[in-house]
A = this chain, B = another copy of it.
Amino acid sequence: MSTTHDVLFRTLADPTRREIFEQLCREGEQTVGALTAHAGISQPAVSKHLGVLKTAGLVRDRQEGRQTHYSAQLGALSPLIDWTRQMAGFWENRFNRLEDLLKRMDQ
Contact = CB atoms under 8 A, between A and B. Distances in A.
Interface residues of A, number: 26
Interface string A69-97: 00010100100110010011011001000
A107 interface: no
A12 to B, nearest CB: 5
A42 interface: no
Given A9-B9, A25-B87, 9 more contacts: A6-B13, A9-B12, A9-B13, A26-B90, A72-B87, A72-B91, A77-B84, A77-B88, A80-B80
A28 interface: yes
A62 interface: no
